Amino acid sequence: MRLFFHGLIPSIAILIASAACAQPAPEAASPPGQTEGEMAGEAIAQAPRVVPHSMEDVKMSFAPVVERAAPAVVNVYTKRVVQQRSPFAGDPFFERFFGGGGPREQNSLGSGVIVSPDGVVVTNNHVIEGMTEIKVVLNDRREFEAELVLADSQTDLAVLRIKPEEPLPYLTFANSDSIHVGDVVLAIGNPFGVGQTVTSGIISALARTAVSISDYQFFIQTDAAINPGNSGGALIDIDGRVVGINSAIYSRSGGSNGIGFAIPSRLVQQVIKSAISGTALVRPWLGASSSTVSADMARALKLDRPAGAIVDDIWDRGPADTAGLEPGDVIIEVDGQPVYDAQTLQYRIGVNNDGDSANVVFVRGGKTRNATVRLSLPPETPARDTRELEGNHPLNGVTVDNLSPRFSEELGLDPLSKGVVVSEVASRSFAARRGLRPGHKIVSVNGRSVNTAAELEREISKPAQSWELEVDTGGRIVPWRVGR
């Protein structure tokens, strides 16, 4: 199986899905940045789930929901100009007949959802990433130039803003923690650029974490057909509320095989709230690193099943430490929601706000315990101290920083990572040719451990006939031996 994203670019198989819902009645409207606590406080009566009992029940139509939803579904068109190099460039004879290359326009098509009457639109980050022009086209064919307000590659979400002359229809959100496997959902979008299309299906699975679409691996799976052009749209329930933003599908061919993935609405709301408020998108942390409980671990710890996240290490005086958690504790629940693995734990903590208190259920010594963890933002200690290394040595052209919990969060690394991380490598440099990449860590130089960027700069700048370096490429230490 191959994993496809949902932006449509000529000659590239990429996938998308979009959905929308009409502007609700004023009393039912909820602001785009609404928190889960506020949502829980709403008096929204939910009808009991029932199974169809007759053909008349089966023949019931989703048309009223679609009619209300369609005006809030938009198409997102993007483009950029790239310099195309001709294979004949540099040869005067062939350039005379075939040209030496030149600018070429690259286009992308995705979907988006209006989430505020004043023109806030949410889509996928991969739809707009690297693009210089973004246009939003409404269902009634009105076109608007869009401003990029926030792009978050970690969640694959982007927030745009258009400037309408009148209030627009928009979508509200359902609580993605309240949906169930088997619930009916609809996806509305523009697959393959053929025009607005509606597909229906059910929630196939929840808490999919082994998808590797984004750093926050926690997705809703659906069998509603999602195809190229649907990207960035919404998965909606039968009440017309967004339960998730469609992000990718599993497919052998690039077409829908009924396995699509959507980003849960709780995470979407967090990104939108940050975009509207103009604050930096920094998620709270637990102050601990963790790993998924395997079957062998479960047997050794005498757990009834291999589920949960085992605490590997704890940041001194961080939230987990202050709450009394210890290495070896197995976290099985956060705020009443199950924790299946380390990715689930990261998601459950990350969708909260700075200062929130999370109720954590964990197992220690075979006994189930509770702890109240007051969450905070990861600290930026030590400071990054960005340094561009220059000189006659193997790391010439490399930019490095000190790692901190906050910087590790941005890079998608272990939150307790320490040391010196590579943030940029000049193209065509010796280090680039040797395979050094952003995210790698420099561990030592000529037998001396380096813990800060300043130490690394000092050690690598010392005159030497040869160098011996140790590079951490992601859990694997690779030795470098370089001589003049």
Give the residue carrying structure tokens 């406080």. 41
CA 150, CA 183: separation in Å to the nearest integer?
31
The C-alpha angle with vertex 54 and arms to 53 and 60, in degrees rounded to 5, equals 100
CA 363, CA 358: separation in Å to the nearest integer?
16
Give the residue carrying structure tokens 């062998």. 296
Beta-carbon contacts of 286 under 8 Å, excluding residues fewer than 6 positions away, are 318, 319, 320, 345, 349, 373, 375, 415
Residue 233: pLDDT over 50: yes
pTM, two decimals, is 0.76
Query: What is the pLDDT averaged over residues 35-52?
Result: 51
Residue 246 has phi, psi (to 5 degrees) of -65, 140
Residue 154: pLDDT over 90: no
Q: Which of 49-53, 99-103, 321-325, 433-437 has the lowest mean pLDDT?
A: 99-103
Query: What is the pLDDT averaged over residues 410-414?
Result: 83
Chain centroid offset of residue 86 CA: 36
Query: Does the annotation count 393 as an active-site position?
Result: no
Residue 322: pLDDT over 70: yes
CB 331 within 8 A of CB 342: no
pLDDT of residue 226: 82
Query: Which of 231, 274, 290, 404 is flagged as catalytic?
Result: 231
pLDDT category at 214 given cuts 50, 70, 90 is low
Residue 181: pLDDT over 50: yes
Residue 352 has phi, psi (to 5 degrees) of -85, 180
Residue 264: pLDDT over 70: yes
Query: Does the annotation count 126 as an active-site position?
Result: yes
Facing residues of 250 across strands? Answer: 3
Query: Which of 126, 256, 393, 401 is flagged as catalytic?
Result: 126
User: What letter does residue 121 receive in the DSSP assignment?
Assistant: E
Query: Which of 6, 108, 116, 156 is flagged as catalytic?
Result: 156
Residue pLDDT, tens place only, 336-363:
999 999 989 988 998 998 999 999 999 9
Which domains does the chain possess? 1-23+62-277 (2.40.10.120), 288-374 (2.30.42.10), 387-483 (2.30.42.10)
Residue 69 has phi, psi (to 5 degrees) of -80, -35
Chain centroid offset of residue 283 CA: 12
Query: Does the annotation count 231 as an active-site position?
Result: yes
Long-range contacts of 144-153 (CB under 8 A, 24+ apart): 144/119, 146/76, 146/121, 149/120, 149/275, 149/276, 150/271, 150/274, 150/275, 150/281, 151/125, 152/125, 152/271, 152/281, 153/125, 153/129, 153/214, 153/215
CA 372, CA 354: separation in Å to the nearest integer?
14
CB 86 within 8 A of CB 100: yes
pLDDT category at 234 given cuts 50, 70, 90 is confident
